[in-house]
Amino acid sequence: MRRRIPVLTSATLITALVATAVVAGTAGVASAQNDSGEGHSRAKNVIYLLGDGMGRTHVTAARERYYGTDGKLAMETLPSQGFISTYAVEKLSGQPGSTNFHPNPVTDSASAATAWSSGVKTYNAALAVDAVGTVMPTIMELAKKAGFRTGNVSTAEVTDATPAGQMSHALARGCQGPVYSDAACQDLAITGTALPTSDIRVTPIADQIARNGTADVILGGGLSRFDAADETALKDQGYSVLGSPTSQTVATKTDLASASGQKVFGLFNRGNLTIEKAKQDNPT
């Protein structure tokens, strides 16, 4: 049976991925508490937890493994649940319901991230643009515009598709940085001709994240995607930068514990964060 989700109109937003989480909060938006006029329940904070590639079959497998057929995962005990389809579409396809709609049932993390962050279906490898390359606003961008404080926390490189889907726009998910290349960033099948490098859709994702201020807190992996210019841009916006993209010094637990200020940027590995299995296999 499908259940309705209460409308949450006041929240703080962060994204954390693979696990990735998105969080949004009410700091700075107290006035929004009083003007909905609709009587909906309001949340002080919203935390969006995402397991990359986790569909219903994975949830079922986890339930069976840990709680048995008649058991429930903690998230299955929540009073409201909702679902979103994350299939892809072919390049240049219209949206569902259009005469030019061409679905692709095999999705990737980028098109899936676009589905849940922007509400549109797009082609595999695209981030927060539709199937014809039009930039689509993300939930985190809208929350930020409304005055919410936001954050993005990930076990992956923060420039990778799932975490990046909330705070960047790209024709090709491989355009991560630190440097631009035609091969990684352009998609002539969408645009016909190469876009100027000033176009946000071909700007390296690391460059966008370091400059657009979409997330107030950014924690994860992917230090190798950022450089000295990115560090300068972050500090100019008031971020406390843990570790250093300039020297490629990763952030540490101690750095995080002593972090101050309302904007924090910390990357704890040059690539994805080390998974628990790898730690067990190589404890040193």
Task: Mark whether 258 is an active-site residue.
Answer: no
Mean pLDDT score across all residues of the chain: 88
More confident residue, 276 or 103: 103
More confident residue, 60 or 52: 60
Q: Which alpha helices (DSSP H) does the chain contain, by range?
A: 56-66, 109-118, 139-145, 161-164, 182-185, 188-191, 205-212, 228-236, 253-257, 276-281
pLDDT higher than threshold 90 for residue 109: yes
**CA 11 from centroid of its chain's CA atoms:** 17
Detail the DSSP E strand segments found in 122-224: 149-157, 217-221
Lowest mean pLDDT among 74-83, 111-120, 132-141, 253-262: 74-83
pTM, entire model? 0.85
Q: Look up residue 274 and give its two tokens.
A: 């080390």
Residue from 109, 111, 117, 168 carrying the catalytic annotation? 109
**Mean pLDDT of all residues in 32-51:** 67
CATH superfamily, domain 12-52+127-281, is Alkaline Phosphatase, subunit A (3.40.720.10)
Give the SS3 label for residue 41: coil
What is the per-residue pLDDT across 118-172, written as a single tens digit (0 to 9) for each? 999 999 999 999 999 999 999 999 999 999 999 999 999 999 999 999 999 999 9
